């Protein structure tokens, strides 16, 4: 997947910029942006951003009151989406065409989930447990960067799908 290096670089840049920032507000700007109902994204308000990582095409923003349990925001950017950095004092978008969701920190820094085009399918899941075991990550296979030729042959032998469908 050619997107993995881009997603990984995006996660590293966001972590360098916002790690340690305390969450002030999560604001879904579009009806379809938030994909889960429980736990509430507001449960993470007051917690610092502990890490930003990547799993396949998803960004994982982990908020926790300490090094222990917390909440992970799983963000799918779709094809052209981004978590755009908004500097302190930036105008707050109010319409879905300007952004799908906004993370605002106590310092005034913000992250705006954007997606070009008209479909607006990017989304945010709020996960309280291990993100790897929860939707949407539970249905993913192994990381593409960690599969060698032998493992790929095993995966292909276990599926009777055509190559095109297997790779999807």
Q: Tokens representing 34? A: 């938030």
pLDDT in tens, 43-81: 999 999 999 998 888 899 999 997 678 999 999 887 777
168 or 48: which leads in pLDDT: 48
Query: How many CA atoms lie less than 13 Å away from 82 in the CB half-sphere?
Result: 12
Q: 3-140 adopts what CATH topology? A: N-terminal domain of MutM-like DNA repair proteins (3.20.190)
Q: Cα(113)–Cα(16) distance, rounded to whole angstroms?
A: 18
Per-domain residue ranges for the chain?
Answer: 3-140
């Amino acid at each position: 997947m050619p997107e993995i290096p881009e997603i990984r670089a995006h996660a590293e840049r966001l972590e360098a910029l916002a790690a340690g920032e305390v969450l002030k507000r999560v604001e879904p700007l579009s009806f379809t942006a938030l994909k889960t109902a429980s736990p509430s994204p507001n449960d993470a308000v007051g917690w610092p951003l502990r890490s930003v990582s990547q799993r396949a095409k998803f960004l994982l923003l982990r908020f926790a009151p300490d090094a222990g349990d917390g909440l992970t925001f799983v963000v799918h950017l779709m094809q052209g989406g981004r978590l755009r950095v908004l500097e302190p004092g930036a105008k707050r978008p109010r319409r879905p065409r300007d952004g799908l969701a906004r993370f605002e920190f106590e310092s005034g820094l913000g992250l705006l989930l954007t997606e070009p085009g008209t479909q607006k399918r990017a989304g945010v899941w709020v996960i309280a447990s291990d993100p790897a075991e929860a939707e949407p990550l539970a249905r993913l296979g192994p990381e593409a960067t960690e599969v060698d030729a032998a493992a790929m042959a095993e995966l292909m032998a276990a599926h009777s799908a055509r190559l095109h469908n297997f790779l999807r």
